[in-house]
Amino acid sequence: GMSYYVTVAGKYVNEKRLDMIANNLANSLTAGFKASRPVFGMVSTSGDGAGNQAILKNAYVSLSDSYIDFSDAPIIESGAPLDVAIQGKGFFSVMTPDGVQFTRNGQFRLDNTGRLVTMTGEPVMGKGGEITINVTQGQAISIEADGSIFLGKMLVDIIKVTEFKNMKDLKPVSRSNFVNTGDDPGQAPKVYSVRQGSYEASNVNVVLEMVDLIHTMRAFECYTKIDQMFGDINEKLTGLAKF
């Protein structure tokens, strides 16, 4: 029965892998999206109880976990005054109904009360909390490299940027938002700059994902064929046992 487990494990791994690739490809145009990558592990099932472990030792691959690839994505110049990109480390803080979340997606706008919010309406946090920009006619909004927001010549607030020592603690909760599951509250990065009129794209490399998809599909088909073969053999054995 062991070879059967190997194919089931192989199919499961490839299904998970396909889900991951599909999710990456679906978000290749999502600003601030970070791709997921698989972590493969070997699981060994061994022993017949009589110490003949070396002979019966069998190992199969499992998708033990996945990790987020936090590498930088291209920065797109949009010219929109409320689009901001972080150059260097760090994340914007946004307030959601589930508490503070972190994102690299700097496509912001003003809501009808003048608050600086994400495209989905989550307030962007400044050093003084939520940021409200009361724009009157003819005043320009300028955002400096340190995240300072000016309305004309008046300082409104400074956009909060936070980095984490252990990025493994950041778990994705929406298309480009992460939640911090660790104890490290984070701190302002030593070196970063905020760029107005630009936003960070997705870091999905479509060509690489497609190559991965082809390999995974081939492996998946192969496992499915092996599975059918075991099914046929099982049927024949069951048939023989009846005589």
Listed in sequence order, the DSSP H helices in the chain are 2-26, 53-56, 206-241
List pLDDT tens digits, range 60-113: 555 557 889 999 999 999 999 999 999 999 999 999 999 999 999 999 999 999
Please provide the average confidence, as pLDDT, over all residues in the chain. 86
Q: Give long-range contacts, CB 8 A cutoff, 24+ apart: 90-93.
A: 90/161, 90/162, 90/163, 90/188, 90/189, 90/192, 91/161, 91/162, 91/163, 91/164, 91/178, 92/124, 92/125, 92/159, 92/160, 92/161, 93/124, 93/125, 93/160, 93/162
Q: What is the pTM of this model?
A: 0.79
Question: Residue type at 126?
Answer: G
